[in-house]
Amino acid sequence: MSLPIKDILDHLHINDINHAFSTGTQWGSSDNAVTKDIVSPTDGKKIAAVKFATADEYNTVVETAKKAFKTWRQIPAPKRGEIVRQIGDSLRENKKQLGTLVSYEMGKSLQEGYGEVQEMIDICDFAVGLSRQLYGLTMHSERPEHRMYEQYHPLGIVGVISAFNFPVAVWSWNAMLAWVCGDVCIWKPSEKTPLTAIACQHIAQEVFKRNNIDEGVSCLVIGDRNIGELMSNDTRVPLVSATGSTRMGKAVSAAVGARLGKSLLELGGNNAIIITENADLDMSLIGAVFGAVGTAGQRCTSTRRLIIHESVYEAFKQKLISAYGQIKIGDPLNENNHMGPLIDQDAVSLYLDSIEKCKAEGGKFVVEGGKLEGEAYSSGCYVKPCIAEVENHYKIVQHETFAPILYLIKYADLDEAIELQNGVPQGLSSAIMTNNLREAERFLSYAGSDCGIANVNIGTSGAEIGGAFGGEKETGGGRESGSDAWKVYMRRQTNTINYSKTLPLAQGIKFDL
Ligand code: NAD
């Protein structure tokens, strides 16, 4: 780490008087606001305190955003793209500081913290190009001298509820696209990682101010699920984009659905890599270990299950055991370490509980887990990555434990492996490691993976912003980021224009007066 944390906090305007909400130029909080200390899982030290917004403050933010939408939507999309371009530049300038704070507040490695900010920069670039597209279709009318086309208009307020594990990137995937589409955004970050959100709000706010853009286009509300629930039930918020656990997604989907609003859900995964008898085992090892141990197993795309062909099972298991022996665990700001802490001590308890449940169901640990003790691990959030041999149907294997526990499952035939890979409630990311074309194509076919992401000779973890990101089944069905994911932030309108001198009806219907 090159800069002391204190300098980084000053640079990013993080201090103990941070307010509970921001409408862009205004920050505020009430005197009796709930205050929460934000503690780093890396060293257990308090970084800063935040205040939670009240329902009244939430309401103020929504009213400001509603007003801002009326002017923001009038600005031509490429001009909105220009603002997003400047935000991308500002993120480039602040990459080191913001990336370090992501690492310190959330506990992911410094490289991953920088990577997360890079993802934000990438989506800004993507959104700038998109701002000159946003195209609809034209189609031929069955009536003479008529023209038909469809166009996209902005929706209004987009509510963004985000999870702790990608504390800033998920907001940018939503906000940058929503902004070029002409929407305004209200962000409710995870209550576990609000400081990086405050930093992002300052960065965006400075750009909006510099361009004399009304307040209310970029809003932030700090709070827990109460704010998320207000947003989900709020008819003034036409789209709620929610990233987090399947439990949360079901609640958001029910509330938004009850008012016939739109929701974009990015929920839990239970991702597997199939390692076939034709796999390059060295390549597979890198994909598997990074997928299981990266971000301490706290990615929605983390590799949780390895489905390995019986002919290479023992050899690959030995390679894994030997690789796990070399993993360095410790301060994520130290670039020599491979794995940092879990987000908090509750997450450690859930991890320990899952190990016990796995053993109770018959799981055999070939690399033992456990909590790490000692001065270097004084935050109480560090654990050992572990590996267990299991059956796919175990209750604990069907469940997403957000921690570095890797399950090994043996298979004999590819269709059986695909069935095992699909045989969980979640459907986010999946991969096959093989040099056999038939195996690869089978995995990608209609009879193959049922996930939103299916890779060949790449692990399950991580994705490029150019593709649409998201998953099926209990992952929620949403798509964010690249490709045509922007369409969810807009409403579609079909237009028919008659430039003839008569009024012919469709389907040849006659209505003579
Ligand atoms: P979480 O569900 O506990 O919280 C996520 C967010 O939802 C927080 O901001 C929280 O305050 C809010 N929330 C919680 N209950 C709510 C409710 N009833 N109504 C409205 N808002 C509510 O998740 P987490 O522990 O922060 O994150 C981990 C989870 O997120 C994992 O399951 C992971 O797989 C998932 N995740 C998915 C993706 C994806 O793109 N599919 C990306 C990142 C994380």
The packing angle between helices 246-258 and 225-232, to 10°, is 30
Task: Provide the whole-model pTM.
Answer: 0.97
Identify which of 119, 186, 188, 245 to mutate to test ligand 1's pocket (most ligand atoms within 8 A of the CB): 245
| Ligand 1 atom at minimum distance from 255 CA | 19
Dihedral sign (CA 409, 411, 417, 423) = negative
Residue 348 CA to residue 350 CA, distance in Å, equals 5
- Whether 407 is in the pocket of ligand 1, judged by its Cβ within 6 Å, is no
For the segment 291-308, what is each residue's pLDDT rounded down to a tens digit?
999 999 999 999 999 999
- Whether 268 is in the pocket of ligand 1, judged by its Cβ within 6 Å, is yes
- Whether 276 is in the pocket of ligand 1, judged by its Cβ within 6 Å, is no
Q: Which residue ranges make up each domain of the chain?
A: 5-267+476-493, 271-466
Tokens 């709620």, residue?
240
Q: 195-226 burial by CB neighbour count: b if 16+ within 10 A, else e?
A: bbbbbbbbbbbebbeeeebbbbbbbbbbbeeb
241 CA → ligand 1 middle, Å: 11
Dihedral sign (CA 25, 29, 34, 38) = positive
Catalytic residues: 266
- Whether 224 is in the pocket of ligand 1, judged by its Cβ within 6 Å, is yes
Identify which of 186, 226, 243 to mutate to test ligand 1's pocket (most ligand atoms within 8 A of the CB): 243
- Whether 402 is in the pocket of ligand 1, judged by its Cβ within 6 Å, is yes
20 CA → ligand 1 middle, Å: 20
For the segment 112-133, what is each residue's pLDDT rounded down to a tens digit?
999 999 999 999 999 999 999 9
- Whether 234 is in the pocket of ligand 1, judged by its Cβ within 6 Å, is no
The packing angle between helices 414-422 and 437-444, to 10°, is 30
Q: What is the pLDDT along the chain (513 residues), one digit of tens a residue?
A: 556 889 999 999 998 777 899 998 789 887 788 999 999 999 999 999 999 999 999 999 999 999 999 999 999 999 999 999 999 999 999 999 999 999 999 999 999 999 999 999 999 999 999 999 999 999 999 999 999 999 999 999 999 999 999 999 999 999 999 999 999 999 999 999 999 999 999 999 999 999 999 889 999 999 999 999 999 999 999 999 999 999 999 999 999 999 999 999 999 999 999 999 999 999 999 999 999 999 999 999 999 999 999 999 999 999 999 999 999 999 999 999 999 999 999 999 999 999 999 999 999 999 999 999 999 999 999 999 999 999 999 999 999 999 999 999 999 999 999 999 999 999 999 999 999 999 999 999 999 999 999 999 999 997 899 999 999 999 999 999 999 999 999 999 999 999 999 998 888 898 888
Task: Specify the residue with its C-alpha closest to ligand 1, atom 37.
Answer: 267
Topology of the domain covering 271-466? Aldehyde Dehydrogenase; Chain A, domain 2 (3.40.309)
Token pair of 113, please?
């913290």
Q: State the architecture of 5-267+476-493 in CATH terms.
A: 3-Layer(aba) Sandwich (3.40)
